[in-house]
Amino acid sequence: MSNARISILLVSCALLLCGASCSRSKNTCSCHSTKNQYVPQHLIYGADISDAFDMSRLKRIDEAFERYIDNGYMPHCAIMVVHDGRVVHHKAYGFRDIENGKECRKDDIFRIASQTKAISVVTLMTLFEEGLFQLDEPIKKYLPEFASPRVLVDYDYPSGTYTTRPAKRDITIRHLITHTSGICYDGTFDIIAQQLGVAVHNTLDTLTLRENVRRIASVPLRHDPGDDFTYAYNTDVLGALAEVLTGIPFETLVSQQVLEPLGMNDTYFHLPASERDRLVKLYCYSDSGSKDEASTLPHGTQQKVNLDGRLQLNTNEIYQTFPYAGAQTFCSPSAGLVGTVEDYAKFCQMILNGGEFNNQRILGRKTLEMMQKNGVGDMRGEIGFGMAWDVFTPQNAHNTIVSEGSMRWGGMFGTDYVIDPQEKLILIMYQNNMPNLSGYNAKTLLHNVVYQALK
Protein backbone atom coordinates (compact mmCIF):
# COMPACT_ATOMS: atom_id res chain seq x y z
CA MET A 1 0.00 0.00 0.00
CA SER A 2 1.34 3.44 -0.95
CA ASN A 3 2.16 6.11 1.61
CA ALA A 4 -0.61 8.30 0.20
CA ARG A 5 -3.22 5.57 0.70
CA ILE A 6 -1.97 4.94 4.25
CA SER A 7 -2.33 8.66 5.03
CA ILE A 8 -5.86 8.76 3.64
CA LEU A 9 -6.79 5.66 5.68
CA LEU A 10 -5.44 7.17 8.91
CA VAL A 11 -7.33 10.43 8.36
CA SER A 12 -10.54 8.51 7.61
CA CYS A 13 -10.19 6.50 10.82
CA ALA A 14 -9.69 9.69 12.82
CA LEU A 15 -12.77 11.25 11.29
CA LEU A 16 -14.82 8.15 12.03
CA LEU A 17 -13.71 8.24 15.68
CA CYS A 18 -14.65 11.89 15.97
CA GLY A 19 -17.94 11.22 14.24
CA ALA A 20 -18.76 8.43 16.67
CA SER A 21 -18.08 10.73 19.58
CA CYS A 22 -19.95 13.65 18.04
CA SER A 23 -22.97 11.51 17.19
CA ARG A 24 -23.93 11.80 20.85
CA SER A 25 -25.11 15.34 20.13
CA LYS A 26 -27.87 15.98 17.68
CA ASN A 27 -26.51 18.72 15.48
CA THR A 28 -23.12 19.97 16.63
CA CYS A 29 -19.72 18.56 17.37
CA SER A 30 -19.00 19.03 21.06
CA CYS A 31 -15.62 17.38 21.33
CA HIS A 32 -12.05 18.56 21.04
CA SER A 33 -8.72 16.83 20.69
CA THR A 34 -6.24 16.89 23.58
CA LYS A 35 -3.22 14.61 23.24
CA ASN A 36 -5.18 12.57 20.67
CA GLN A 37 -8.12 12.05 23.03
CA TYR A 38 -11.53 13.52 22.30
CA VAL A 39 -13.12 15.30 25.24
CA PRO A 40 -16.63 16.79 25.39
CA GLN A 41 -16.80 20.58 25.39
CA HIS A 42 -20.49 20.78 26.29
CA LEU A 43 -22.92 18.69 28.29
CA ILE A 44 -24.78 16.54 25.81
CA TYR A 45 -28.49 15.97 26.39
CA GLY A 46 -30.63 13.33 24.73
CA ALA A 47 -27.74 11.03 23.83
CA ASP A 48 -27.94 7.25 23.74
CA ILE A 49 -26.27 5.98 26.93
CA SER A 50 -27.24 2.32 26.60
CA ASP A 51 -23.66 1.42 25.67
CA ALA A 52 -22.55 2.29 29.20
CA PHE A 53 -25.60 1.72 31.42
CA ASP A 54 -28.24 -0.91 32.00
CA MET A 55 -31.28 1.28 31.45
CA SER A 56 -33.60 -0.79 33.64
CA ARG A 57 -31.16 -0.60 36.57
CA LEU A 58 -30.85 3.19 36.22
CA LYS A 59 -34.46 3.44 37.41
CA ARG A 60 -33.19 2.59 40.88
CA ILE A 61 -31.99 6.18 41.24
CA ASP A 62 -35.61 7.37 41.16
CA GLU A 63 -36.80 4.55 43.40
CA ALA A 64 -34.15 5.17 46.06
CA PHE A 65 -34.47 8.95 46.28
CA GLU A 66 -38.25 9.01 46.05
CA ARG A 67 -38.23 6.59 48.99
CA TYR A 68 -35.94 8.90 51.01
CA ILE A 69 -38.19 11.87 50.27
CA ASP A 70 -41.40 9.95 51.03
CA ASN A 71 -40.00 8.71 54.33
CA GLY A 72 -39.19 12.27 55.33
CA TYR A 73 -35.42 11.89 55.57
CA MET A 74 -34.71 14.56 52.96
CA PRO A 75 -36.62 17.74 52.09
CA HIS A 76 -35.51 17.75 48.46
CA CYS A 77 -32.59 17.07 46.19
CA ALA A 78 -31.35 17.62 42.65
CA ILE A 79 -29.20 14.98 40.98
CA MET A 80 -27.04 15.01 37.88
CA VAL A 81 -25.06 12.11 36.43
CA VAL A 82 -22.82 12.63 33.39
CA HIS A 83 -20.89 9.97 31.49
CA ASP A 84 -18.23 11.09 29.00
CA GLY A 85 -20.10 14.39 28.59
CA ARG A 86 -23.49 12.71 28.09
CA VAL A 87 -26.19 13.57 30.60
CA VAL A 88 -27.35 10.26 32.06
CA HIS A 89 -29.70 11.57 34.73
CA HIS A 90 -30.87 15.09 35.63
CA LYS A 91 -33.82 15.27 37.96
CA ALA A 92 -35.16 16.90 41.13
CA TYR A 93 -37.12 15.38 43.99
CA GLY A 94 -39.13 16.65 46.93
CA PHE A 95 -39.97 20.22 47.88
CA ARG A 96 -37.82 23.33 47.68
CA ASP A 97 -40.33 25.00 50.04
CA ILE A 98 -42.19 22.46 52.14
CA GLU A 99 -44.31 25.01 53.98
CA ASN A 100 -45.81 26.33 50.74
CA GLY A 101 -45.84 23.05 48.85
CA LYS A 102 -43.39 24.24 46.14
CA GLU A 103 -41.71 21.34 44.37
CA CYS A 104 -37.97 21.22 43.87
CA ARG A 105 -36.79 21.87 40.32
CA LYS A 106 -33.65 20.56 38.67
CA ASP A 107 -32.44 24.13 37.98
CA ASP A 108 -32.95 25.28 41.57
CA ILE A 109 -30.08 27.02 43.32
CA PHE A 110 -28.50 25.39 46.39
CA ARG A 111 -25.97 26.49 49.01
CA ILE A 112 -22.92 24.39 48.10
CA ALA A 113 -20.74 25.31 51.12
CA SER A 114 -17.37 23.51 50.92
CA GLN A 115 -17.82 22.58 47.27
CA THR A 116 -16.82 26.23 46.86
CA LYS A 117 -13.26 25.22 47.82
CA ALA A 118 -12.49 23.35 44.60
CA ILE A 119 -13.58 26.34 42.48
CA SER A 120 -11.54 28.69 44.67
CA VAL A 121 -8.43 26.50 44.50
CA VAL A 122 -8.70 26.18 40.72
CA THR A 123 -8.96 29.98 40.56
CA LEU A 124 -5.77 30.28 42.62
CA MET A 125 -3.98 27.70 40.49
CA THR A 126 -4.60 29.76 37.37
CA LEU A 127 -2.35 32.33 39.06
CA PHE A 128 0.18 29.60 39.85
CA GLU A 129 0.32 28.86 36.13
CA GLU A 130 1.02 32.54 35.47
CA GLY A 131 4.06 32.26 37.74
CA LEU A 132 2.70 34.63 40.39
CA PHE A 133 3.64 32.33 43.29
CA GLN A 134 5.16 28.95 44.12
CA LEU A 135 3.61 26.33 46.33
CA ASP A 136 6.34 26.06 48.94
CA GLU A 137 6.66 29.78 49.56
CA PRO A 138 5.69 30.92 53.07
CA ILE A 139 2.35 32.67 53.13
CA LYS A 140 3.89 35.46 55.26
CA LYS A 141 5.64 36.65 52.10
CA TYR A 142 2.26 37.87 50.83
CA LEU A 143 0.16 38.08 54.01
CA PRO A 144 2.41 39.47 56.78
CA GLU A 145 -0.13 38.73 59.52
CA PHE A 146 1.10 35.10 59.33
CA ALA A 147 4.72 36.09 60.07
CA SER A 148 4.80 34.51 63.55
CA PRO A 149 2.36 31.57 63.75
CA ARG A 150 1.72 30.11 67.20
CA VAL A 151 0.37 26.75 68.32
CA LEU A 152 -2.22 26.35 71.11
CA VAL A 153 -0.82 24.74 74.27
CA ASP A 154 -3.66 25.09 76.77
CA TYR A 155 -7.11 26.67 77.00
CA ASP A 156 -8.90 27.59 80.23
CA TYR A 157 -12.63 27.36 79.62
CA PRO A 158 -13.85 29.26 82.71
CA SER A 159 -11.76 32.34 81.92
CA GLY A 160 -11.44 32.00 78.15
CA THR A 161 -7.68 32.50 78.35
CA TYR A 162 -5.09 30.34 76.63
CA THR A 163 -1.36 29.82 76.22
CA THR A 164 0.59 29.27 73.00
CA ARG A 165 4.08 28.51 71.74
CA PRO A 166 5.88 29.51 68.54
CA ALA A 167 5.26 27.16 65.62
CA LYS A 168 8.24 25.10 64.52
CA ARG A 169 8.00 26.31 60.93
CA ASP A 170 6.21 28.80 58.72
CA ILE A 171 2.91 28.10 57.00
CA THR A 172 3.41 27.58 53.26
CA ILE A 173 0.91 27.91 50.45
CA ARG A 174 1.09 24.14 49.99
CA HIS A 175 0.13 23.67 53.65
CA LEU A 176 -2.95 25.81 53.07
CA ILE A 177 -4.02 23.97 49.92
CA THR A 178 -3.64 20.55 51.58
CA HIS A 179 -5.18 21.64 54.93
CA THR A 180 -2.00 20.82 56.81
CA SER A 181 -1.34 24.38 58.04
CA GLY A 182 -2.71 23.75 61.53
CA ILE A 183 -5.51 26.31 61.10
CA CYS A 184 -8.59 24.86 62.81
CA TYR A 185 -12.21 25.88 63.40
CA ASP A 186 -13.49 23.04 65.56
CA GLY A 187 -14.17 22.94 69.29
CA THR A 188 -11.85 25.17 71.29
CA PHE A 189 -10.60 26.88 68.14
CA ASP A 190 -14.14 27.83 67.16
CA ILE A 191 -14.57 29.47 70.58
CA ILE A 192 -11.36 31.46 70.12
CA ALA A 193 -12.34 32.38 66.56
CA GLN A 194 -15.67 33.73 67.77
CA GLN A 195 -13.90 35.73 70.47
CA LEU A 196 -11.74 37.29 67.74
CA GLY A 197 -14.72 38.01 65.45
CA VAL A 198 -13.86 35.50 62.73
CA ALA A 199 -16.69 34.84 60.27
CA VAL A 200 -16.87 31.06 60.12
CA HIS A 201 -18.30 30.11 56.70
CA ASN A 202 -20.39 33.25 56.12
CA THR A 203 -21.67 36.44 57.73
CA LEU A 204 -24.37 39.08 57.34
CA ASP A 205 -22.13 41.78 58.85
CA THR A 206 -20.02 44.40 57.11
CA LEU A 207 -16.75 42.51 56.70
CA THR A 208 -14.23 41.97 53.93
CA LEU A 209 -12.35 38.80 53.09
CA ARG A 210 -9.05 40.54 53.77
CA GLU A 211 -10.10 41.64 57.25
CA ASN A 212 -11.50 38.21 58.08
CA VAL A 213 -8.19 36.58 57.13
CA ARG A 214 -6.34 38.97 59.45
CA ARG A 215 -8.59 37.70 62.24
CA ILE A 216 -7.95 34.09 61.23
CA ALA A 217 -4.22 34.73 61.54
CA SER A 218 -4.76 35.65 65.20
CA VAL A 219 -6.26 32.25 66.06
CA PRO A 220 -3.59 29.83 67.34
CA LEU A 221 -2.86 26.71 65.31
CA ARG A 222 -3.93 23.21 66.33
CA HIS A 223 -0.52 21.77 65.41
CA ASP A 224 2.73 22.72 63.70
CA PRO A 225 2.37 23.35 59.96
CA GLY A 226 2.85 20.16 57.95
CA ASP A 227 2.40 17.79 60.91
CA ASP A 228 -1.23 16.77 60.43
CA PHE A 229 -4.37 17.22 58.33
CA THR A 230 -6.86 19.67 59.86
CA TYR A 231 -9.75 20.70 57.66
CA ALA A 232 -10.62 24.36 58.15
CA TYR A 233 -10.85 27.75 56.44
CA ASN A 234 -7.45 27.52 54.80
CA THR A 235 -9.14 28.35 51.50
CA ASP A 236 -10.22 31.75 52.81
CA VAL A 237 -6.53 32.53 53.30
CA LEU A 238 -5.87 31.41 49.73
CA GLY A 239 -8.60 33.75 48.52
CA ALA A 240 -6.90 36.66 50.29
CA LEU A 241 -3.62 35.59 48.69
CA ALA A 242 -5.26 35.75 45.27
CA GLU A 243 -6.50 39.27 45.98
CA VAL A 244 -3.02 40.41 47.00
CA LEU A 245 -1.43 38.83 43.92
CA THR A 246 -3.86 40.39 41.46
CA GLY A 247 -5.40 43.43 43.13
CA ILE A 248 -8.79 42.06 42.07
CA PRO A 249 -11.64 41.19 44.49
CA PHE A 250 -11.85 37.42 44.83
CA GLU A 251 -15.49 37.29 43.77
CA THR A 252 -14.58 39.03 40.52
CA LEU A 253 -11.53 36.85 40.00
CA VAL A 254 -13.53 33.63 40.33
CA SER A 255 -15.98 34.88 37.72
CA GLN A 256 -13.23 35.91 35.32
CA GLN A 257 -11.03 32.83 35.68
CA VAL A 258 -13.60 30.03 36.06
CA LEU A 259 -17.32 30.79 36.05
CA GLU A 260 -17.62 32.90 32.90
CA PRO A 261 -15.28 30.79 30.70
CA LEU A 262 -17.09 27.58 31.66
CA GLY A 263 -20.55 29.09 31.16
CA MET A 264 -21.45 28.66 34.84
CA ASN A 265 -24.08 31.37 34.69
CA ASP A 266 -26.09 30.18 37.70
CA THR A 267 -23.31 30.21 40.33
CA TYR A 268 -22.91 33.19 42.67
CA PHE A 269 -21.38 34.46 45.88
CA HIS A 270 -24.16 37.05 46.12
CA LEU A 271 -27.46 35.97 44.62
CA PRO A 272 -29.13 38.59 42.39
CA ALA A 273 -32.60 39.63 43.52
CA SER A 274 -34.02 38.30 40.25
CA GLU A 275 -32.81 34.78 41.13
CA ARG A 276 -33.76 34.69 44.81
CA ASP A 277 -36.91 32.65 44.22
CA ARG A 278 -34.77 29.83 42.82
CA LEU A 279 -32.89 29.34 46.12
CA VAL A 280 -34.17 26.32 48.02
CA LYS A 281 -34.92 26.67 51.71
CA LEU A 282 -32.47 25.20 54.19
CA TYR A 283 -33.94 22.47 56.39
CA CYS A 284 -32.70 20.23 59.17
CA TYR A 285 -33.67 16.76 60.30
CA SER A 286 -34.45 16.90 63.99
CA ASP A 287 -34.28 13.91 66.33
CA SER A 288 -37.55 14.98 67.95
CA GLY A 289 -41.10 15.25 66.71
CA SER A 290 -43.94 12.94 65.85
CA LYS A 291 -46.14 11.89 63.01
CA ASP A 292 -48.91 14.15 64.33
CA GLU A 293 -46.65 17.22 64.27
CA ALA A 294 -45.44 16.51 60.76
CA SER A 295 -48.94 15.86 59.44
CA THR A 296 -49.69 19.59 59.61
CA LEU A 297 -47.49 20.12 56.54
CA PRO A 298 -49.17 20.49 53.13
CA HIS A 299 -50.63 17.30 51.73
CA GLY A 300 -48.14 15.29 49.70
CA THR A 301 -44.97 16.82 51.13
CA GLN A 302 -44.36 13.78 53.34
CA GLN A 303 -46.37 10.64 52.73
CA LYS A 304 -44.53 8.94 55.59
CA VAL A 305 -42.71 10.48 58.54
CA ASN A 306 -40.22 8.70 60.77
CA LEU A 307 -41.65 8.55 64.29
CA ASP A 308 -38.29 9.56 65.81
CA GLY A 309 -37.77 12.72 63.83
CA ARG A 310 -39.03 15.29 61.40
CA LEU A 311 -37.87 17.89 58.91
CA GLN A 312 -38.05 21.51 59.91
CA LEU A 313 -36.60 24.81 58.78
CA ASN A 314 -33.06 25.52 59.88
CA THR A 315 -33.30 28.54 62.18
CA ASN A 316 -29.71 29.77 61.71
CA GLU A 317 -30.32 33.16 60.14
CA ILE A 318 -26.87 33.39 58.56
CA TYR A 319 -27.04 29.96 56.92
CA GLN A 320 -30.61 30.53 55.76
CA THR A 321 -30.20 34.02 54.30
CA PHE A 322 -26.52 34.76 53.55
CA PRO A 323 -26.86 34.31 49.75
CA TYR A 324 -29.14 37.35 49.51
CA ALA A 325 -29.25 39.19 52.88
CA GLY A 326 -26.92 41.30 55.00
CA ALA A 327 -24.15 43.67 54.00
CA GLN A 328 -22.99 41.50 51.06
CA THR A 329 -19.40 42.71 51.47
CA PHE A 330 -17.93 39.29 52.28
CA CYS A 331 -17.46 36.27 50.04
CA SER A 332 -16.14 33.07 51.56
CA PRO A 333 -13.72 31.19 49.27
CA SER A 334 -14.27 28.23 51.58
CA ALA A 335 -18.05 28.05 51.70
CA GLY A 336 -19.77 31.01 50.05
CA LEU A 337 -21.03 29.89 46.65
CA VAL A 338 -24.56 28.94 45.64
CA GLY A 339 -25.47 27.33 42.33
CA THR A 340 -27.10 24.58 40.31
CA VAL A 341 -26.10 20.96 39.76
CA GLU A 342 -25.72 21.62 36.04
CA ASP A 343 -23.23 24.42 36.66
CA TYR A 344 -21.12 22.23 38.91
CA ALA A 345 -21.23 19.46 36.32
CA LYS A 346 -19.56 21.86 33.88
CA PHE A 347 -16.80 22.46 36.41
CA CYS A 348 -16.39 18.72 37.05
CA GLN A 349 -16.28 18.00 33.31
CA MET A 350 -13.47 20.53 32.99
CA ILE A 351 -11.52 18.58 35.62
CA LEU A 352 -12.30 15.30 33.87
CA ASN A 353 -11.20 16.79 30.55
CA GLY A 354 -7.80 17.70 31.92
CA GLY A 355 -8.46 21.41 32.32
CA GLU A 356 -10.69 22.48 29.44
CA PHE A 357 -14.42 22.79 28.74
CA ASN A 358 -16.64 25.02 26.64
CA ASN A 359 -13.60 25.32 24.32
CA GLN A 360 -11.86 27.23 27.12
CA ARG A 361 -8.69 26.05 28.85
CA ILE A 362 -8.82 26.83 32.55
CA LEU A 363 -5.79 24.86 33.76
CA GLY A 364 -3.00 22.91 32.16
CA ARG A 365 -3.19 19.12 32.08
CA LYS A 366 -0.09 18.65 34.22
CA THR A 367 -1.32 21.10 36.85
CA LEU A 368 -4.48 19.06 37.28
CA GLU A 369 -2.52 15.83 37.41
CA MET A 370 -0.56 17.30 40.33
CA MET A 371 -3.76 18.43 42.03
CA GLN A 372 -5.18 14.90 41.85
CA LYS A 373 -2.26 13.27 43.69
CA ASN A 374 -2.50 12.45 47.38
CA GLY A 375 -0.59 15.23 49.14
CA VAL A 376 -1.11 14.21 52.78
CA GLY A 377 0.30 10.68 52.95
CA ASP A 378 -1.53 8.67 55.60
CA MET A 379 -2.59 11.70 57.69
CA ARG A 380 -6.25 10.90 56.94
CA GLY A 381 -5.89 7.16 57.27
CA GLU A 382 -6.86 5.16 54.20
CA ILE A 383 -8.20 8.04 52.16
CA GLY A 384 -5.96 10.69 50.63
CA PHE A 385 -6.39 14.37 49.86
CA GLY A 386 -5.22 16.24 46.79
CA MET A 387 -5.37 20.02 46.47
CA ALA A 388 -9.14 20.38 46.71
CA TRP A 389 -10.76 16.98 47.20
CA ASP A 390 -10.63 13.44 48.54
CA VAL A 391 -8.40 11.09 46.58
CA PHE A 392 -9.63 7.49 46.54
CA THR A 393 -6.43 5.56 47.21
CA PRO A 394 -5.87 1.79 46.78
CA GLN A 395 -6.02 1.46 50.56
CA ASN A 396 -9.56 2.87 50.54
CA ALA A 397 -10.83 0.77 47.63
CA HIS A 398 -12.51 -1.80 49.88
CA ASN A 399 -14.72 0.87 51.47
CA THR A 400 -16.53 2.16 48.40
CA ILE A 401 -18.05 1.24 45.06
CA VAL A 402 -16.40 4.36 43.57
CA SER A 403 -13.35 3.74 41.39
CA GLU A 404 -9.82 4.06 42.71
CA GLY A 405 -8.34 7.42 41.69
CA SER A 406 -11.66 9.25 41.87
CA MET A 407 -12.05 12.69 43.44
CA ARG A 408 -14.86 13.51 45.85
CA TRP A 409 -15.97 16.24 48.18
CA GLY A 410 -19.15 17.79 49.48
CA GLY A 411 -20.59 20.60 51.56
CA MET A 412 -22.02 20.83 55.06
CA PHE A 413 -25.49 21.63 53.76
CA GLY A 414 -25.71 18.16 52.21
CA THR A 415 -24.17 18.46 48.74
CA ASP A 416 -21.72 16.00 47.18
CA TYR A 417 -19.82 15.27 43.97
CA VAL A 418 -17.66 12.51 42.50
CA ILE A 419 -15.30 12.86 39.53
CA ASP A 420 -14.25 9.43 38.28
CA PRO A 421 -11.57 9.47 35.53
CA GLN A 422 -11.58 5.68 35.19
CA GLU A 423 -15.26 5.55 34.27
CA LYS A 424 -15.39 9.08 32.75
CA LEU A 425 -18.22 9.64 35.20
CA ILE A 426 -19.55 12.60 37.21
CA LEU A 427 -22.07 12.30 40.03
CA ILE A 428 -23.59 15.35 41.75
CA MET A 429 -26.24 15.38 44.46
CA TYR A 430 -27.50 18.62 46.02
CA GLN A 431 -29.73 18.96 49.04
CA ASN A 432 -29.88 21.66 51.72
CA ASN A 433 -30.47 19.72 54.92
CA MET A 434 -28.26 20.59 57.91
CA PRO A 435 -27.86 19.15 60.44
CA ASN A 436 -29.08 15.82 59.16
CA LEU A 437 -29.64 13.57 62.18
CA SER A 438 -31.61 10.94 60.27
CA GLY A 439 -28.69 8.51 60.19
CA TYR A 440 -29.10 8.05 56.42
CA ASN A 441 -26.30 8.87 53.99
CA ALA A 442 -27.75 10.16 50.72
CA LYS A 443 -24.28 10.70 49.27
CA THR A 444 -23.28 7.06 49.46
CA LEU A 445 -26.77 6.09 48.31
CA LEU A 446 -26.21 7.96 45.04
CA HIS A 447 -22.80 6.34 44.54
CA ASN A 448 -24.29 2.89 44.96
CA VAL A 449 -27.38 3.25 42.77
CA VAL A 450 -25.42 4.82 39.89
CA TYR A 451 -22.41 2.51 39.85
CA GLN A 452 -24.54 -0.63 40.06
CA ALA A 453 -26.11 0.34 36.74
CA LEU A 454 -22.82 0.51 34.80
CA LYS A 455 -22.29 -2.19 32.21
What's the one-letter identity of residue 35? Answer: K
Can you say whether the dihedral through the CA atoms of 349, 351, 354, 356 is positive or negative? positive
Q: Answer yes or no: are the C-beta atoms of 153 and 163 closer than 8 Å.
A: yes
Q: Check residue 288 and give its pLDDT.
A: 56
CA atoms within 13 A on the CB side of 435: 7
Distance CA 296, CA 322 (A): 28
Q: Answer yes or no: are the C-beta atoms of 331 and 14 closer than 8 Å.
A: no
Q: Check residue 304 and give its pLDDT.
A: 36
pLDDT tens by residue, 387-404: 999 999 999 889 999 999
Q: Check residue 35 and give its pLDDT.
A: 57
Angle between helix axes 341-352 and 116-129 (nearest 10 degrees) is 40
Ordered mean pLDDT values, 10 residues apiece, the chain (455 residues): 47 42 38 66 97 98 96 95 98 97 97 98 98 98 98 95 98 98 95 93 95 98 98 97 98 98 98 97 77 34 43 94 97 97 98 98 98 96 95 92 97 97 98 92 96 98
Quote the strand ranges of 253-315, DSSP E: 283-286, 310-313
Alpha carbon dihedral 228, 233, 238, 241, in 10-degree steps, equals: -120
The residues of the chain that CATH labels 3.40.710.10 are 41-115+262-451, 121-258
Distance CA 33, CA 42 (A): 14
Tell whether omega for the bond before 40 is within 30 degrees of 0, i.e. cis.
Answer: no
Using DSSP, state whether 372 is helix, strand or coil: coil
121-258 maps to CATH 3.40.710.10: yes
Can you say whether the dihedral through the CA atoms of 346, 352, 357, 361 is positive or negative? positive
Mention the CATH class of domain 41-115+262-451. alpha beta
